[in-house]
Amino acid sequence: MLRDILARWYPFAEWNKLRAVALFCVWLFVWDDEIDMSEGQFHGDFEKAQANFQSTLEFTRWALGLDSSESQQPDEEVGEGIPCSTITRGLFGAFGALFRQDAAQETKERLYREIEFYIGQVAKEHGVNIRRQILSTDDYLDIRLGTSGSYTLTAFLDYTTSTSIPSFIMESEEMKSLRYEENIMTILINDIYSLKKEMVPKFPSRMPFSLRVNSLQKYGVLTSMLPIEYNASDHKDLSRIMNQTMTRMEQSSKAFDEAAKELKKMARSGRYDDDTIVEGLSSWIANSRTLLTGCLEYHLKTKRYSMDSYLQSDGTVNLTL
């Protein structure tokens, strides 16, 4: 399944680069599971997890070739005698060795900044889960913008598309907007299609949705946009919340397209009116789109969410909770 996902996510990548990002994606999933899954060695232990967060940042910076003061691999101990996962280090180390061969310096630095943001938000989420805290919609979204991992996956699109885009474009508000909307749509896709998995198995099939949300709220485990908005709403109407979510998805899609249009105008402006830059930017934007379509296809086809039995011939999903 991972092979299919990666081919859809990064269809323009050369083989060695696809191999590199495959290692990165596996690292991302495995590292997150060590924090998030009950079997993970850092799950439920705040101090141990915090030490792991710091150790991971040190190691990823070293593996990306950004720590000029350290020629040797950082210590494999996290804090006082707490072992860091050799699996995650091995995965990221292998990724870094491949990535450093072709990635531009600014791409490596951009990826590290996004890893730093990702780990920072995972740390926040970990604390929230330990405290069994129910978040507001805004606080939840703030954390999810990092924990979705989307910003890390778009950080190296110049690498996967073998393009070079001027920094004034990469650092522009339009690019920030495009990447933000891509992230929002990724979050909404995940939260919509994972809803049944999150809400149904834990309770009897005939229990009303409102009671399931109330039960989850009691234990502080509302970890999806829809039940969080349901919990915060006055009307307690799931269909209405779903419609609002789909409207937000449409708005995000339009904002993405508008940002893409403005970026292409920017590439044609001034001394940067260069066909190579325009073509490279077009590939970058196209790869952003394939991350979204690949994400959607994954959620529809993976056994993790079992959506195939609810998928209709017209492409809609008919799901009753």
Helices 2-9 and 275-301 cross at an angle (nearest 10°) of 150
Tell me the average pLDDT across 199-209.
53
Average per-residue pLDDT for the chain: 84
| pLDDT tens per residue across span 9-45 | 999 999 999 999 999 999 999 998 888 765 656 766 7
pLDDT of residue 299 exceeding 60: yes
Task: Say how far apart CA 93 and CA 245 lie, in whole Å.
Answer: 39
Tell me the average pLDDT across 267-275.
71
Task: Say how far apart CA 272 and CA 262 lie, in whole Å.
Answer: 14
For residue 195, what pLDDT is reported?
A: 78
For residue 321, what pLDDT is reported?
A: 60
Q: What is the pTM of this model?
A: 0.87
Burial (Cβ within 10 Å: 0-12, 13-18, ≥19) of residue 139: middle
**Could you tell me what percent of the chain has a pLDDT over 70?**
81
**What's the pLDDT band for 219 if we cut at 50, 70, 90?**
very low
pLDDT of residue 81 exceeding 60: no
Among 14-28, 76-90, 196-210, top mean pLDDT goes to 14-28
Tell me the average pLDDT across 175-188.
97
For residue 68, what pLDDT is reported?
A: 67
The rounded Cα 66 to chain-centroid distance in angstroms is 23
